[in-house]
Amino acid sequence: MKIKFLFVFITFLALTSCWPLKEESKVVELKDLSQMSNTSVSAGLKEGQYVYKISLKIEGETDGSFEINNYKFNPGKVDTLINNMDWYQEDFPIAFKPVSCSEGNLKVKVTFFLQE
């Protein structure tokens, strides 16, 4: 019985050590879709915290194709989740490049997964 309890306890610790202690989300609105733009968002870490992964949520609508961080998107409505990317820095760059895009609206939500 003690071995079974010990096994369950160790399994619980192993699983919970991978869970995020905190998520921090930042939203960037891309306004001029006819021009290339480079911006970055920061997780705003507190002492002892570190980033171990991120997720991107890209939403909006455009009249042409474009790229964000080398991900290519077609014209029209955009609702894309790029989930669970390994990332270990406090800042995340967002590089927008219009291919045939000149107008529309786009929002990029960056969610940082943090641990202490």
CATH code of residue 63: 2.60.40
Enumerate the β-bridge partners of residue 58: 80, 108
Do strands 71-73 and 104-115 pair parallel, antiparallel, or not at all (unpaired)?
unpaired
Can you tell me the distance from the alpha carbon of 58 to that of 109, in angstroms, rounded to the nearest whole number?
6
Q: Return the pLDDT at 101.
A: 95
| pLDDT in single tens digits along all 116 residues of the chain | 667 766 666 666 555 555 647 899 999 999 999 999 999 999 999 999 999 999 999 999 999 999 999 999 999 999 999 998 999 999 999 999 999 999 999 999 999 999 98
Q: Return the pLDDT at 18.
A: 58
Name the domain count of the chain: 1
CA distances (Å), 18 to each of 22, 53, 114, in order?
12, 11, 11
Residue 106 inside a domain? The answer is yes
Residue 13 inside a domain? The answer is no
What's the domain range around 102? Answer: 22-115
